[in-house]
Chains A and B, each alone.
Chain A
Amino acid sequence: DQQVKQNSPSLRVQEGRISILNCDYTNSMFDYFLWYKKYPAEGPTFLISISSIKDKNEDGRFTVFLNKSAKHLSLHIVPSQPGDSAVYFCAARSTNAGKSTFGDGTTLTVKP
């Protein structure tokens, strides 16, 4: 049973518009959530995170929203830029087990 799901394998948006990437989880023990960005032939790099005690965290053009009752989080990128084109992975952890569980990723393509 997949505990972290990214139901959209791909997303295409126009440069300057908003990109919204979604992630759902099933394990109630998860209390820390992360987004990673991955370019081809490179390892994932940390993008932004959110603790379960918050419902929003912002870092520049990137904002992560957490809805604990729905077990849902989303990553908003505004405005989207061609350099944002990459695979985005959602990951979840529980405080007493530092291991991360990853979703399958969403490939974002931002068209100029």
Chain B
Amino acid sequence: NAGVTQTPKFQVLKTGQSMTLQCAQDMNHEYMSWYRQDPGMGLRLIHYSVGAGITDQGEVPNGYNVSRSTTEDFPLRLLSAAPSQTSVYFCASSYRAGATDTQYFGPGTRLTVL
């Protein structure tokens, strides 16, 4: 049971490039989400999904796209990278979207945009 996995661990992009951050979970969780963490700040929700085929925007969705074609995978796409997107990105999953459902986080992807 690998839990929540994220690839890559580190990535450097130039302004304007696009890329996809991968996230997968093997716990058959319905709810998956993406957060970003900037230095000295908490985690801010980018996008989330309550099940395959269903996605919605979080607090800071601009510049990011997501899709959920399977229960296991929830990739995050940066359409045209900007320096303001330099951050650490965490993917999380939980059994459902209920308030008491424990979220499990991946190890994070550290992204630098030059």
Residues on A lying within 8 angstroms of B by beta carbon are 4, 6, 9, 31-32, 36, 41-46, 49, 51, 89, 93-95, 98-100, 102-105
Report Cα–Cα, A17/B34, bound state, in Å. Answer: 36
- Residues of A near B33 (CB, < 8 A) are 99
Give chain A's interface secondary structure class.
Answer: strand
Shortest Cβ distance from residue A95 to the other chain B in the assembled complex, whole angstroms: 5
- Residues of A near B98 (CB, < 8 A) are 95, 98
25 contacts between A and B (CB under 8 A): A6-B42, A31-B99, A32-B99, A41-B108, A42-B108, A43-B4, A43-B106, A44-B43, A44-B90, A45-B105, A46-B104, A49-B100, A51-B100, A89-B42, A94-B99, A95-B98, A98-B101, A99-B48, A99-B97, A100-B43, A100-B45, A104-B41, A104-B42, A105-B40, A105-B42
Asked whether A43 lies within 8 Å of B42 as measured between CB atoms, the reply is no
Number of B positions contacting A (CB below 8 A):
28
Task: Identify A42's interface contact among B40, B58, B100, B107, CB under 8 A.
Answer: B107
Residues on B lying within 8 angstroms of A by beta carbon are 4, 31, 33, 35, 40-45, 48, 58, 90, 92, 94, 96-108
Asked whether B97 lies within 8 Å of A98 as measured between CB atoms, the reply is yes
Asked whether A98 lies within 8 Å of B99 as measured between CB atoms, the reply is yes
Most-contacted residue by chain B among A6, A46, A93, A98 (CB, 10 A): A98
Instruction: Return the chain B residue nearest A43 by Cβ.
Output: B105
Asked whether B108 lies within 8 Å of A43 as measured between CB atoms, the reply is yes
Report Cα–Cα, A104/B45, bound state, in Å. Answer: 13
- Residues of A near B31 (CB, < 8 A) are 98
Asked whether A102 lies within 8 Å of B44 as measured between CB atoms, the reply is yes
- Residues of B near A6 (CB, < 8 A) are 42
Asked whether B90 lies within 8 Å of A95 as measured between CB atoms, the reply is no
Shortest Cβ distance from residue A43 to the other chain B in the assembled complex, whole angstroms: 3
Report Cα–Cα, A102/B40, bound state, in Å. Answer: 12
Report Cα–Cα, A78/B103, bound state, in Å. Answer: 25
